[in-house]
Amino acid sequence: MTRIAHRPAPFREAEMLRQGGIHPVLARLFAARGLVDPKDLSSELGALILPAGLLHIDAAATFLADSIAARKRMVIVADYDCDGATACAVALRGLRAMGANVDFIVPNRFEYGYGLTPEIVALTAREKSPDIIITVDNGIASIDGVEEAKRRGIEVVVTDHHLPGDRLPDARVIVNPNQPACGFPSKNLAGVGVVFYVLLALRAELRRRGVFDAQTQPKLDSLLDLVALGTVADVVKLDANNRILVAQGLKRMRAGRMHAGVAALFRVAGRQARSATPFDLGFALGPRLNAAGRLEDMSLGIECLVTDDEGRAWALAQQLNEINIKRREIEAEMQDAALLHLDDFQPKESNTICVFDEGWHQGVIGIVASRLKEKFYRPTITFAPAGDGWIKGSGRSIAGFHMRDALDLVSKKAPSLIDKFGGHAMAAGLSLRADAFDTFAQAFETVGQSWLTDTQLERVIETDGPLEDGYYTTQFIELMDGIVWGQGFAPPVFCDEFRVVSQRILKEKHLKLLLEKNGARYDAIWFGHTDALGDRARVAFRLDANEYNGTTRVQLLVEHAEAA
């Protein structure tokens, strides 16, 4: 099911980058990822795409500036994940700095559903009495919710990045790089990135009106640690524009110039902010914020990000950490149950996976879907009970299978089957009647059978080929750590043949190796793998600087290995 492939690096492009002063190995890595212009490597804020390219952003800035002047009451309705939490915190901090009267609400996801639903509008009206609702990281599919807000005399500003459906909500203004007719060059902004751009445009409008000048205006770059965290955690493609946002956020973290909540999350996760990487944001900080939205109340995560009190931030970060530990325990139980459900699963006979369990927790099904997708390399949807005979599903996909489009096709072929759905290429959610599960699973499999070939159902570990002996150094690792790698700009994975000097199993679940090449020996570890290798192996690996007892040594993190 898994094979190692070599990512081609065009020689001419690599050579041009090298001649432009790029390190020879980095030049090869960049060329292999389609980067040909050294300007695309810029991490300076001045290289950001200007806000003017976003459709309706000037209208949003004008409307918000007018509303601030009129002291209108604004309420932010956020999504329940890390992108939604950071987007909410950025909006709150930015709007307050510009004089807005603004609050937020994050209703319980299990009671009120996803997006700006009519129920959430009613709750917001009852509890906050807003003149204006601003959605962050949601709203593009909230046709009914926006109608309900208008019925109540509440104006709605939608800021989102998700793909729209056939109809757009009739909001006062919509800012979304993925809405029809929007020519913004980067379609990959996260929800937090869209909000940051709206704030840039609003500040420019307020400057134009004489509210601020260049000296007195709020310093929005102080929000970039939050923008970086949400962007990485939402696994959007790190194109040149997103890499600037993330690089600037990481720069602030490494310099210690981050918000109290971000610093507290680093501390509670046992990570060092001074050497912050995208990996820390995506796998240490992000999950702790996400856990609140999955199991309890995302307002905990938002409070952590908006407080300037270090003691309060630390207390909230510890709470988030406890929730994350609970989430891991629930996830482990659900994974065990899922594998029991799939005991007879034959990958050769099925192109997709759908699993439902009466005892599952709605907030964790997305992670379980992700784990099953990784294990079996099939588009996977896991379902949990949602009450009153309904079930909710969370899907994760593989390359070449657009999850939202697949659900759209199922919905078109069987209009009464799915109640609601939404999402994007790699992840989506839906709800349906529990008694329709088998029919849905069959319909979803039919789409999988027609869309996916045997080649697409094979997991491919793309590598950058061999690494020259002289670069197995901590200095080279430090050089690579200075680059923002991530989704769509894959971290380097090298591949070579080694002699296996020794191997043993650690903690009953990891393979610890000593590998040798050209007389040099390297420690290596293959996490989550216990099957022994032969005397010689072809190994796909990432370089890691492993610090132990005050000494830092190069270690190979094995992605995959096979007999040489």
Considering the domain architecture, whether residues 121 and 179 belong to the same structural domain is answered as: yes
Considering the domain architecture, whether residues 119 and 99 belong to the same structural domain is answered as: yes
The conformational region for residue 388 under phi > 0 = left, psi -120 to 50 = alpha, else beta, is left
Q: What's the CATH code of the domain at 476?
A: 2.40.50.460
The mean of the pLDDT values for the chain is 95
Confidence of residue 216 (pLDDT cuts 50, 70, 90): very high
Q: What is the DSSP string of 14-72?
A: HHHHHHTT--HHHHHHHHHTT---GGGG---GGGSPPGGGSTTHHHHHHHHHHHHHTT-
Per-residue pLDDT tens digits for 369-386:
999 999 999 999 999 999
Tokens of 200: 């840039």
What pLDDT does residue 397 have? 96
Tokens of 425: 């290429």
Q: What is the DSSP string of 269-316?
A: TT--GGG--HHHIIIIIHHHHHHHHHHS-THHHHHHHH---HHHHHHH
As a whole number, mean pLDDT of residues 552-561 equals: 96
Q: Which residue has the tokens 């009671």?
A: 111
What pLDDT does residue 505 have? 97
Asked if pLDDT for residue 107 goes beyond 80, the answer is no
Domain count, the chain: 3
Beta bridge partners of 380: 353, 396
As a whole number, mean pLDDT of residues 487-505 equals: 97
Per-residue pLDDT tens digits for 231-282:
999 989 999 999 999 999 999 999 999 999 999 999 999 999 999 999 999 9
Give 249 or 549, the one with higher predicted confidence.
Answer: 249
In a domain, 146, yes or no: yes
As a whole number, mean pLDDT of residues 537-558 equals: 93
Closest CA relative to residue 545, chosen from 480, 461, 470, 492: 480
What pLDDT does residue 218 have? 98
Considering the domain architecture, whether residues 197 and 302 belong to the same structural domain is answered as: yes
Asked if pLDDT for residue 330 goes beyond 90, the answer is yes
In a domain, 513, yes or no: yes
What pLDDT does residue 301 have? 97
Considering the domain architecture, whether residues 315 and 380 belong to the same structural domain is answered as: no
As a whole number, mean pLDDT of residues 298-322 equals: 97
Confidence of residue 347 (pLDDT cuts 50, 70, 90): confident
In a domain, 211, yes or no: yes
In a domain, 95, yes or no: yes
What pLDDT does residue 547 have? 84
CB half-sphere exposure, 354, CA atoms < 13 A: 21
Per-residue pLDDT tens digits for 413-455:
999 999 989 878 889 999 999 999 999 999 999 999 999 999 9
Considering the domain architecture, whether residues 71 and 215 belong to the same structural domain is answered as: yes
Considering the domain architecture, whether residues 212 and 100 belong to the same structural domain is answered as: yes
Asked if pLDDT for residue 481 goes beyond 80, the answer is yes
Q: Are 138 and 165 in contact (CB under 8 A)?
A: no
Q: What's the CATH code of the domain at 268?
A: 3.90.1640.30
Considering the domain architecture, whether residues 104 and 138 belong to the same structural domain is answered as: yes
| Among candidate residues 400, 427, 457, the one where a domain is terminated | 457
What pLDDT does residue 190 have? 97
Considering the domain architecture, whether residues 381 and 500 belong to the same structural domain is answered as: no
Q: What's the CATH code of the domain at 376?
A: 3.10.310.30
As a whole number, mean pLDDT of residues 190-208 equals: 98
In a domain, 332, yes or no: no
What pLDDT does residue 497 have? 98
What pLDDT does residue 1 have? 75
Considering the domain architecture, whether residues 440 and 555 belong to the same structural domain is answered as: no
What pLDDT does residue 455 have? 92
Q: Give the total residue count for the chain.
A: 564
Q: Which residue has the tokens 């690996």?
A: 541
What pLDDT does residue 92 have? 98
In a domain, 110, yes or no: yes
Q: What distance in Å separates the CA atoms of residue 489 and residue 451, rounded to the nearest whole number?
A: 26
Confidence of residue 181 (pLDDT cuts 50, 70, 90): very high
Q: Which pairs from 316-323 meet CB under 8 Å and 24+ separation?
A: 316/261, 316/264, 317/261, 317/264, 317/265, 317/267, 317/268, 317/288, 318/268, 320/265, 320/268, 320/288, 320/289, 320/291, 320/292, 321/268, 321/269, 321/288, 323/288, 323/291, 323/292, 323/295, 323/296
As a whole number, mean pLDDT of residues 139-147 equals: 96
Considering the domain architecture, whether residues 315 and 365 belong to the same structural domain is answered as: no
In a domain, 6, yes or no: yes
Asked if pLDDT for residue 108 goes beyond 90, the answer is no
| Among candidate residues 272, 291, 321, the one where a domain is terminated | 321
SS3 11: helix
CA 231 to chain centre: 6
As a whole number, mean pLDDT of residues 537-564 equals: 93
Q: Radius of gyration over alpha carbons of the chain, in Å?
A: 24
Asked if pLDDT for residue 127 goes beyond 80, the answer is yes
Considering the domain architecture, whether residues 448 and 492 belong to the same structural domain is answered as: no
Residue 213 exposed, middle or buried by CB count within 10 Å (0-12, 13-18, 19+): exposed
Asked if pLDDT for residue 475 goes beyond 90, the answer is yes
Residues contacting 111, CB < 8 A, separation 6+: 119
What pLDDT does residue 510 have? 96
Q: What distance in Å separates the CA atoms of residue 173 and residue 473, rounded to the nearest whole number?
A: 52
Considering the domain architecture, whether residues 189 and 98 belong to the same structural domain is answered as: yes
What pLDDT does residue 424 have? 80
Burial 358-386 (b: 16+ CB within 10 A, else e): eebbbbbbbbbbbbbbebbbbbbbbbbbb
What pLDDT does residue 387 have? 93
In a domain, 335, yes or no: no
Q: Which domain holds residue 428?
A: 342-457
Q: What is the DSSP string of 342-383?
A: TTT--GGG-S-EEEE-TT--GGGHHHHHHHHHHHH-S-EEEE
Per-residue pLDDT tens digits for 348-368:
899 999 999 999 999 999 999
CB half-sphere exposure, 387, CA atoms < 13 A: 5
